[in-house]
C-alpha cells in the first residue's frame, strides 16, 4: 500500500507536510526513548554509584553485576514459565472468545443484541470489590490453581467493543453472499470475519498479552502460598517492594524493611528482565496493524 | 428501560443466592493441646503483614538448615502494597497455619481464627516459656479476652541499644571546623551549619545545603514531626504524646512546645538554611543529595539515609559522613531517645484454627526460640558465616564485607536475620557460653566506626554517639510499652479521624514552615482550627482509653 | 465522502411471521456463540455484586453475614457530609476531563501522522519507540518528571533561565495551580504511544482504494486525512469516547500519589486514593464499598448519557 501511494506524483505542499512530519516524529522518538534508556542505564550501573543520582541515558560506572545477580534468583525462572504459559493460553482463549461475541453483536439482525451488549457494557463500570471477588474464587475452588490466571479475565468487554467497531466497518456484502451460499453463522465468523479482522485481533492480542504478562495482583491474592505457581511480575513486585507504603508506616517496621530493600540498580535490572520478553513479541504483532490489509478479497 | 429491570431482577436473585452461600464460618473449636502431632516432614503456610523482599522459599542456607533440623518447610507469603490482605484472610476463612497480622490482629481474633497459645507453650515450648518469664500478663489479648493469641516478635527480649541512630545529624567536617563546640540546642546546631555554609557556599560546584528533610511522602513522620517530639523532650510514641501521670494522649504536633520547633524550621527556611526542596523532593533525590556530600545537617535516622552514607564512605569521604547529636529546643528539655519500653508485646505471631498440627507448629516456633535456633538466625551456619575462636563467635572479614556491601543480597543468600518470626533475645544478651546472641554488640559498634568518627567522638569524651545522649537509667520504664503496638481500635470512626489528622498535619504544618515568618502564627492557628474541625479531641479521647486499657492489662499477671 | 462503510450496513429488513421458537432456531449459532459468555460474565462480574450490601453494614471481616450489623445509609451520609469529599471530586473530575481531552486527541493525531509516514521502517521504529514508556513504571516516570522540574538543576528551569523567560527558578512541583497540568502532561507522555495502537489498527482497516481515488482527484494530504482517515476510524473513536466518558471518575491514583506532596495536597487527592486511605486501607470495607457504589452509579449515568447523545447525533453507540 505504501509503495502504491508513493508511486503517484507529489506536489510541494505534500513535500512540506512530509518534512514537518518527519521532524515531529524525530522529536517524539527522543522524548519517548528517554525514560526507557534511563532505566536501562541504571540497570548497568553499580548500585553504590547509583545512589548519587544524576544518571541519564548512559551508565556512569558500568557493570554487568546486577544482571548476574538476578540470574541467581531461581524464583524468576519458575515465574517466567508460568508467565509465558498464562500469556499464551490467556491470549489465545481471550481473542477467541472476545471475537466470537463481538461478531454476534455486530449482527444487526441478532435479536438478543441489545440485551447482551448492555449486559456486558455495565460490567465495565462496577465491581463488587475485593472481598466478594475473593470469596467467589474460593467457592469456585480456584485458589492455588493455575486457572485463576485464565478464567476470571477470559471475557474482556472492552476488547469485545473494540473488535465490534472494527467489524462494523467491514463491508457487509461478503457476509450476505456467504449466507446465500448456505453457510451458517459460525462458518461466516470463522471463514470470513476472522481473517479480515487480523489488524484488530493483533491489537487485542497485544492488549491481552501485555495485561496477562503484567498482572501480579491475582498471584498475590490467590496463589502466594504456592511458590510453584508464582509469576514473573509478582516476583518483580516483591523485589521492587519498598518502604513507601502509605499506611501503617511506623518507625519500627520501616527500619526492619529498610535493611532489606533491594538496591535501585538491581531493581532496574529486574525491570528490564521482565519487560524485554514482551517487547520482543511486539514486532510480530505490529506488522498486522501497521501494514493495513491486502484487501484483494474485500471488494464491493 | 426493560433491560435495566431485567438486570436488576437477575442481580437480586444472585444476591439471595450468595447471601447464604458466601458466609459460612468455621466455628469448630477444639482443644489444641489434644490434637495429634506428626513426626515426618511437614509444611506450614504462613502470612506476614510486613513485606520481606528477600524471602527465598527457604532455599537460603539458614532456611535449609532449619528444615533439616525441624522437618518444617514454611510456605510464606507477605504483604505487598496497601490492600488489607489480613481482612480478606479473616473474612474468607482461608487462614494460613501461622500468621503475623501486625496491627490487624483484631480482625483475626474477631473471626475466632486464633488458637489460645498458653496451654501449648506450657506443655511443649520450654524455650518460649523461658523468654516470656513472668510477663504472661503482657501477652494477654485484652481485658475482656485474656487469652494468649500471639507471641511478640517485633521486639526482642532484653534488647539494649549501643549506639544512637537518631537525634540531629551534622557532618564531621562542619563540627571540626566549628572547633567541636557544645551541640545541645537548636541554636548550637544552627550555628554550626551557618558557619560552615558561609565558608563553603558550594561543594563540587553545587550549592551547599544547610539542612534537608523529606516531607513529600511518609518520611514526613520521620524527618519532620518525630523530631518535634524528640527536640521537646518526649519519647517517640508515634503520632501521640502520652502524659506519664494521667495517661492522657495528645496528637503531639499540636502541642505549644512543638509549635516552637516548627517555628524554628520556619526561621531556618527564612534564612535559606533549610533546603527549599525539602517538601518536594523524592526520597531518591534526597539520598542523591546526601550522597553528594553537600548537605551539612540532617534530622533523620541512620537506617533511612544509610545507603547514601555508604556511598560517601565508599568514595573515601568519611569527613562528610554524619554524627548524631542530642539537640533539643532549649536546655530545659532532655532527649528521651533511650527511654526503655520494657518487655513489649502486642504484635507478633500466632497459630490459627486451620493449622492441622498446632503442637508441631509451636515446637517449630520453640526451636527458633532456642539458643540453637537463635544463633542460626542471627549468626548463620558455623564455619560458613561465623567461626568459633577460643569459645568466641566471630564473623570472618570477608563475610562481614559481603554483609555491609550488599545487605539485601547477603540476606537473600544466607537467610541470616530473615527468621525473626519467633521470640528471641535482643542485642546485649548473652547465651550460656558467654557469647552475645546477636551480632550487634558494643565492641563491634566502635570497631565499625571510621577514623574521623572516632576523632570527633574523642573531642566530646565519648566512645559512641549514645554516650552523648541521656541514658535509659534516667527515665522510668514506659508502663504501656511501645505506643505504636497498641492494637488500633476497631472503632472505624477513630481510624478515619486519625488518617485525617495525619493528612491535616502534613499539609498545614508544611504550609506553616514555608510561610513568611510574620504569617507563621496565622498559619498555625489555621492548623489548630482544622484539627478541631475534624474532631481531634474525640480521637484523643478514644486513644487515651486504649492506653489506659493497656496499662491495666499489662499490670495484671 | 462517497463511500462511508457504515452507511452500507443497513439492517436486513425481512418481514416474517415466524414464531419465537423458530426465530431462536434460526439464530441458534449466534445464541450458542454468545450466551455461554453471558453466563460467564454473570458469574464473574454480577455475582460479586452481593458485596454492595457491605455499604449498608458496619462490615467486620471474619463475622458471618447474619452477624453483621446493618446501619442503613450511614456510610453514604458520612461520605456526603465529608467536606474533603467535594474537594476530592473536584480534583478527580478536573484531572480526568483534562486527561480525556488531551489523552484522547494526542493518540489520534499521532496515529494519523504515523500513518502518513512513507518510509515503512521509520514508521515502525517510531511506533515501537513511542510505546516504550508504557512499560516504565510510574515510580520511575514520576521521579524523572520531578527531577526535570526541580529548582535544583532541573532541565526545564535551566532552559527557561537561559532563554531569559524567567530570572529565578520556579518551584513547579510546589504550586497547586500547576499540578493538574503536570499530571496530564506526564500521563500523555507515558501513554500516548500505547493508545495509538487501537487507532492504527482501525486505520489499517480502511480500504486503500479510497486513497487512490482521492489522489487521482488531486486531494491534498489534509483533505485525505479529513475525508478518508478520520471517517474511517470514526466508529472506533466514538466507541472509545463513550467508554472513556463512562470511565471519567475511575482515574486511578498512582500518578497523583507519586507526583504529589503536602504542598499540593488540596489539588492532588483523588477519589481512588481517598477510597484507599479512608476505606480499605483502614479496614473500613463498608465505607470503601459506599465510595465504590457512588463511583459505579456516576459511571453508569455518564455511560448511558454519552451513549444516548452519540446515538442521536452520530447514529453510533455502544449499546
Which pLDDT tens digit goes with each residue over C26-49? 888 888 888 999 999 999 999 999
Per-residue pLDDT, B349? 95
Domain identity same for B177 and B302: yes
Average pLDDT over residues A31-40: 88
Domain of B241, in residue numbers: 168-337+450-488
Q: Using CB atoms and an 8 Å cut-off, which of residues 485-504 of chain B contact chain C? A: 490, 492, 495-496, 499-500, 503
Q: Rounded to whole angstroms, what are the CA distances from C167 to A157, C159, C163, C164, C181? A: 53, 11, 9, 6, 22
* pLDDT < 70 stretches in chain B: 1-36, 82, 487-491, 557
Domain identity same for B478 and B367: no
How far is Cα of residue C316 from the mean position of the Cα atoms in its chain?
Answer: 19
Domain identity same for B239 and B385: no
Within-domain flag for B554: no
Rounded CA-CA distance A291/A285 in Å is 11
Cβ of A259 within 8 Å of Cβ of B103? The answer is no
Domain identity same for B277 and B198: yes
> Which of C44, C126, C131, C190 is the mutation pick for testing A, counting most A CBs within 10 A?
C44
Q: Give partners of A (≥3 CB pairs < 8 A).
A: B, C
Of B503, B534, B552, B49, the closest CA to residue B239 belongs to: B503
Cβ atoms of B346 and B486 within 8 Å: the answer is: yes
Cβ of C208 within 8 Å of Cβ of A165? The answer is no
Cβ atoms of B374 and B368 within 8 Å: the answer is: yes
Domain end (from B446, B478, B501)? B446
Number of residue pairs across B and C with CB atoms under 8 Å? 130
Beta strands in chain A (DSSP E): none
Per-residue pLDDT, A247? 36
Per-residue pLDDT, B511? 93
Per-residue pLDDT, A192? 85
The segment with the largest mean pLDDT, out of A127-131, A268-272, C43-47, is C43-47
Q: Across the strands, what pairs with B394? A: B387
Domain identity same for B311 and B350: no
Q: Which three three-digit cell numbers place residue B73?
A: 518447610
Domain end (from B424, B446, B468)? B446
Domain identity same for B393 and B472: no
Confidence band, pLDDT 50/70/90 cuts, at residue A257: low
Per-residue pLDDT, B4? 43
Within-domain flag for B547: no
Average pLDDT, chain A: 81
Of B351, B421, B475, the closest CA to residue B33 belongs to: B351
Which domains are delineated in chain A? 4-63 (no CATH), 67-291 (1.10.3720.10)
Instruction: Report chain C's C-alpha Rg in angstroms.
Output: 25
Kindly report the CATH number assigned to the domain that includes residue B384: 3.40.190.10
The segment with the largest mean pLDDT, out of A3-7, A239-243, B50-54, is B50-54
Domain identity same for B388 and B437: yes
Per-residue pLDDT, A292? 54
Within-domain flag for B320: yes
Q: Which three three-digit cell numbers place residue C110?
A: 499521532
Domain end (from B395, B424, B446)? B446
Per-residue pLDDT, C28? 85
Chain A residues whose beta carbon lies within 8 Å of the beta carbon of residue C292: 126-127, 129
Asked if pLDDT for residue A298 goes beyond 50, the answer is: no
Domain identity same for B95 and B142: yes
Cβ of B51 within 8 Å of Cβ of A238? The answer is yes
Report the gap between the CA of B321 and the closest CA in chain A (Å).
14
**Which CATH superfamily includes the segment(s) C75-313?**
MetI-like (1.10.3720.10)
Confidence band, pLDDT 50/70/90 cuts, at residue A124: confident
Cβ of C129 within 8 Å of Cβ of A32? The answer is yes
Per-residue pLDDT, B345? 84
Asked if pLDDT for residue C319 goes beyond 80, the answer is: no
Confidence band, pLDDT 50/70/90 cuts, at residue A266: confident
How many structural domains is chain B composed of?
A: 2
Asked if pLDDT for residue A227 goes beyond 70, the answer is: yes
Confidence band, pLDDT 50/70/90 cuts, at residue C12: very low
Q: Give partners of C (≥3 CB pairs < 8 A).
A: A, B
Cβ of C284 within 8 Å of Cβ of B492? The answer is yes
Q: Which residue has the higher pLDDT, B356 or A125?
A: B356
pLDDT tens-digit series, residues C145-186: 998 898 887 888 888 988 888 888 888 998 889 999 999 999
Report the gap between the CA of B195 and the closest CA in chain C (Å).
22
| List of long-range contacts for C113-120, beta carbons under 8 Å, 24+ apart | C113/A21, C113/A24, C113/A25, C114/A25, C114/C196, C114/C200, C115/C200, C115/C203, C115/C229, C116/A17, C116/A18, C116/A21, C116/C221, C116/C225, C117/A21, C117/A22, C117/A25, C118/A2, C118/A5, C118/A6, C118/A18, C120/A2
Per-residue pLDDT, B323? 95
Chain C residues whose beta carbon lies within 8 Å of the beta carbon of residue A36: 132-133, 135-136
**In a 3-state reduction of DSSP, which class is residue B111?**
coil
Within-domain flag for B425: yes
Average pLDDT over residues C197-219: 85
Per-residue pLDDT, B412? 84
Cβ of B107 within 8 Å of Cβ of C265? The answer is no
**In a 3-state reduction of DSSP, which class is residue A162?**
helix
Domain identity same for B45 and B88: yes
Chain C residues whose beta carbon lies within 8 Å of the beta carbon of residue B279: 174, 261-263
Report the gap between the CA of A227 and the closest CA in chain C (Å).
25
Asked if pLDDT for residue C2 goes beyond 70, the answer is: no
Asked if pLDDT for residue C10 goes beyond 80, the answer is: no
Query: Residues near B545 by Cβ (< 8 Å), separated by ≥ 6?
Result: none
Confidence band, pLDDT 50/70/90 cuts, at residue A240: confident
Nearest-by-CA chain A residue for B302: A255
pLDDT tens-digit series, residues C256-304: 988 999 999 899 999 988 888 888 777 788 898 999 899 989 998 998 8
The interface pTM score, or ipTM, of the predicted complex is 0.81
Confidence band, pLDDT 50/70/90 cuts, at residue A149: very high
Amino acid at each position: 500500500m505504501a509503495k502504491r501511494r508513493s508511486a503517484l506524483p507529489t506536489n510541494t505542499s505534500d513535500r512540506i507536510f512530509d518534512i514537518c512530519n518527519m521532524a515531529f516524529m524525530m522529536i517524539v522518538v527522543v522524548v519517548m526513548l528517554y525514560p526507557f534508556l534511563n532505566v536501562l542505564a541504571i540497570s548497568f550501573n553499580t548500585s553504590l554509584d547509583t545512589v548519587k543520582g544524576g544518571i541519564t541515558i548512559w551508565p556512569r560506572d558500568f557493570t554487568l553485576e546486577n544482571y548476574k545477580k538476578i540470574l541467581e534468583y531461581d524464583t524468576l525462572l519458575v515465574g517466567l514459565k508460568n508467565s509465558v504459559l498464562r500469556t499464551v493460553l490467556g491470549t489465545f482463549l481471550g481473542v477467541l472468545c472476545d471475537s466470537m461475541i463481538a461478531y454476534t453483536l455486530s449482527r444487526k439482525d441478532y435479536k438478543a443484541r441489545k440485551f447482551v451488549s448492555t449486559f456486558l457494557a455495565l460490567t465495565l463500570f462496577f465491581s463488587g470489590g475485593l472481598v466478594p471477588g475473593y470469596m467467589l474464587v474460593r467457592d469456585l475452588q480456584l485458589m492455588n490453581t493455575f486457572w485463576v490466571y485464565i478464567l476470571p479475565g477470559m471475557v474482556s468487554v472492552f476488547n469485545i467493543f473494540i473488535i465490534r467497531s472494527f467489524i462494523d466497518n467491514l463491508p457487509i456484502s461478503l457476509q450476505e453472499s456467504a449466507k446465500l451460499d448456505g453457510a451458517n453463522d459460525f462458518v461466516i465468523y470463522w471463514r470470513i470475519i476472522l481473517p479480515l479482522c487480523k489488524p484488530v485481533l493483533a491489537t487485542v492480542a497485544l492488549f491481552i498479552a501485555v495485561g496477562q504478562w503484567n498482572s501480579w495482583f491475582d498471584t498475590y491474592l490467590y496463589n502466594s502460598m504456592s511458590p510453584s505457581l508464582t509469576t514473573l511480575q509478582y516476583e518483580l513486585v516483591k523485589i521492587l517492594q519498598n518502604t513507601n507504603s502509605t499506611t501503617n508506616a511506623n518507625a519500627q517496621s520501616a527500619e526492619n524493611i529498610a535493611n532489606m530493600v533491594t538496591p535501585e540498580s538491581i531493581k532496574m535490572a529486574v525491570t528490564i528482565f521482565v519487560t524485554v520478553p514482551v517487547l520482543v513479541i511486539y514486532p510480530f504483532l505490529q506488522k498486522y496493524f501497521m501494514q493495513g490489509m491486502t484487501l484483494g478479497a474485500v471488494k464491493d | 428501560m426493560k433491560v435495566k429491570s431485567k438486570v436488576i431482577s437477575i442481580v437480586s436473585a444472585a444476591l439471595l443466592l450468595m447471601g447464604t452461600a458466601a458466609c459460612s464460618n468455621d466455628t469448630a473449636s477444639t482443644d489444641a493441646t489434644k490434637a495429634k502431632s506428626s513426626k515426618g516432614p511437614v509444611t506450614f503456610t504462613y502470612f506476614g503483614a510486613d513485606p520481606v523482599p528477600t524471602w527465598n522459599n527457604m532455599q537460603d542456607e539458614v532456611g535449609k538448615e532449619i528444615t533439616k533440623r525441624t522437618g518444617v518447610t514454611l510456605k510464606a507469603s507477605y504483604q505487598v502494597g496497601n490492600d488489607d490482605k489480613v481482612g480478606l484472610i479473616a473474612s474468607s476463612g482461608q487462614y494460613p497455619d501461622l500468621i503475623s497480622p501486625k496491627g490487624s490482629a483484631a480482625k483475626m481474633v474477631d473471626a475466632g481464627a486464633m488458637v489460645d497459645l498458653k496451654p501449648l507453650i506450657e506443655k511443649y515450648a520450654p524455650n518460649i516459656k523461658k523468654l516470656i518469664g513472668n510477663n504472661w500478663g503482657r501477652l494477654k489479648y485484652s481485658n475482656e479476652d485474656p487469652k494468649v493469641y500471639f507471641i511478640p516478635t517485633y521486639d526482642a527480649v532484653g534488647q539494649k541499644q549501643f549506639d544512637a541512630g537518631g537525634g540531629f545529624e551534622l557532618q564531621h567536617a562542619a563540627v571540626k571546623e566549628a572547633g567541636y563546640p557544645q551541640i545541645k540546642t537548636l541554636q548550637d546546631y544552627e550555628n554550626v551549619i551557618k558557619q560552615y555554609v558561609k565558608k563553603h557556599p558550594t561543594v563540587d560546584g553545587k550549592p551547599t545545603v544547610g539542612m534537608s528533610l523529606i516531607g513529600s511522602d511518609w518520611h514526613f513522620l520521620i524527618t519532620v514531626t518525630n523530631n518535634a517530639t524528640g527536640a521537646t523532650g518526649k519519647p517517640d510514641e508515634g503520632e501521640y504524646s502520652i502524659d506519664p501521670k494521667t495517661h492522657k494522649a495528645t496528637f503531639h504536633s499540636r502541642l505549644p512546645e512543638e509549635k516552637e520547633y516548627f517555628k524554628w524550621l520556619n526561621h531556618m527556611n527564612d534564612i535559606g538554611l533549610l533546603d527549599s526542596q525539602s517538601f518536594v523532593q523524592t526520597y531518591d533525590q534526597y539520598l542523591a543529595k546526601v550522597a553528594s556530600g553537600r548537605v551539612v545537617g540532617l534530622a533523620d535516622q541512620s537506617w533511612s539515609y544509610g545507603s547514601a552514607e555508604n556511598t560517601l564512605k565508599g568514595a573515601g569521604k568519611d569527613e562528610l559522613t554524619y554524627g548524631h547529636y542530642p539537640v533539643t529546643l532549649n536546655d530545659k528539655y532532655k532527649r528521651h531517645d533511650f527511654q526503655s519500653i520494657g518487655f513489649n508485646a502486642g504484635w507478633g505471631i500466632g497459630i490459627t484454627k486451620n493449622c492441622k498440627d498446632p503442637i508441631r507448629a509451636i515446637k517449630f516456633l520453640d526451636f527458633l526460640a532456642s539458643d540453637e535456633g537463635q544463633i542460626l538466625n542471627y549468626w548463620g551456619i558455623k564455619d560458613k558465616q561465623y567461626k568459633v575462636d577460643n569459645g568466641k563467635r566471630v564473623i570472618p572479614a570477608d563475610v562481614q564485607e559481603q554483609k555491609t556491601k550488599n545487605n539485601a543480597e547477603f540476606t537473600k543468600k544466607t537467610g541470616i536475620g530473615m527468621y525473626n518470626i519467633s521470640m528471641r533475645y535482643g542485642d546485649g544478651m548473652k547465651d550460656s557460653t558467654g557469647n552475645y546472641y546477636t551480632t550487634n554488640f558494643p565492641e563491634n559498634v566502635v570497631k565499625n566506626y571510621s577514623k574521623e568518627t572516632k576523632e570527633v567522638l574523642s573531642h566530646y569524651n565519648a566512645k559512641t554517639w549514645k554516650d552523648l545522649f541521656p541514658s535509659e537509667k534516667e527515665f522510668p520504664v514506659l508502663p504501656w510499652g511501645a505506643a505504636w503496638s497498641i492494637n488500633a481500635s476497631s472503632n472505624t470512626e477513630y481510624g478515619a479521624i486519625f488518617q485525617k489528622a495525619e493528612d491535616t498535619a502534613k499539609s498545614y504544618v508544611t504550609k506553616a514552615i514555608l510561610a513568611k515568618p510574620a504569617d507563621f502564627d496565622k498559619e498555625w492557628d489555621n492548623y489548630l482550627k482544622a484539627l478541631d474541625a475534624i474532631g481531634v479531641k474525640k480521637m484523643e479521647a478514644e486513644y487515651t482509653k486504649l492506653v489506659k486499657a493497656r496499662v491495666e492489662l499489662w499490670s495484671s499477671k | 465522502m462517497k463511500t462511508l462503510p457504515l452507511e452500507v450496513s443497513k439492517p436486513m429488513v425481512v418481514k416474517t411471521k415466524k414464531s419465537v421458537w423458530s426465530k431462536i432456531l434460526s439464530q441458534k449459532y449466534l445464541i450458542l456463540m454468545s450466551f455461554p459468555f453471558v453466563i460467564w460474565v454473570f458469574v464473574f462480574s454480577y455475582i460479586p455484586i452481593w458485596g454492595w450490601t457491605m455499604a449498608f453494614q458496619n462490615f467486620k471481616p471474619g463475622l458471618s453475614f447474619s452477624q453483621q450489623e446493618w446501619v442503613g445509609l450511614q456510610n453514604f451520609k458520612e461520605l456526603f457530609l465529608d467536606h474533603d469529599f467535594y474537594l476530592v471530586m473536584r480534583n478527580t473530575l478536573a484531572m480526568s476531563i483534562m486527561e480525556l481531552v488531551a489523552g484522547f486527541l494526542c493518540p489520534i493525531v499521532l496515529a494519523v501522522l504515523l500513518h502518513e509516514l512513507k518510509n515503512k521502517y521509520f514508521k515502525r521504529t517510531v511506533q515501537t519507540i513511542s510505546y516504550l514508556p508504557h512499560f516504565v513504571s510510574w515510580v520511575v516516570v514520576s521521579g524523572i518528571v520531578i527531577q526535570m522540574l526541580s529548582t535544583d538543576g532541573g532541565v526545564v528551569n535551566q532552559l527557561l533561565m537561559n532563554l531569559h523567560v524567567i530570572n529565578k527558578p520556579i518551584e513547579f512541583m510546589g504550586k497547586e495551580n500547576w499540578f493538574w497540568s503536570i499530571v496530564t502532561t506526564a500521563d500523555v507522555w507515558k501513554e500516548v504511544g500505547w493508545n495509538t495502537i487501537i487507532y492504527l489498527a482501525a486505520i489499517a482497516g480502511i480500504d486503500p482504494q479510497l486513497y487512490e481515488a482521492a489522489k487521482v482527484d488531486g486531494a491534498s494530504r489534509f483533505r485525505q486525512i479529513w475525508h478518508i482517515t478520520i471517517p474511517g476510524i470514526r466508529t472506533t473513536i466514538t466507541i472509545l469516547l463513550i467508554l472513556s466518558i463512562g470511565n471519567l471518575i475511575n482515574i486511578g491514583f498512582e500518578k497523583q500519589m507519586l507526583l504529589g506532596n503536602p504542598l499540593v495536597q488540596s489539588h492532588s487527592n483523588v477519589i481512588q486514593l481517598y477510597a484507599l486511605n479512608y476505606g480499605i486501607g483502614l479496614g473500613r470495607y463498608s465505607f470503601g464499598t459506599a465510595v465504590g457504589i457512588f463511583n459505579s452509579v456516576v459511571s453508569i449515568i455518564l455511560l448511558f448519557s454519552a451513549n444516548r447523545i452519540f446515538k442521536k447525533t452520530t447514529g453510533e453507540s455502544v449499546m
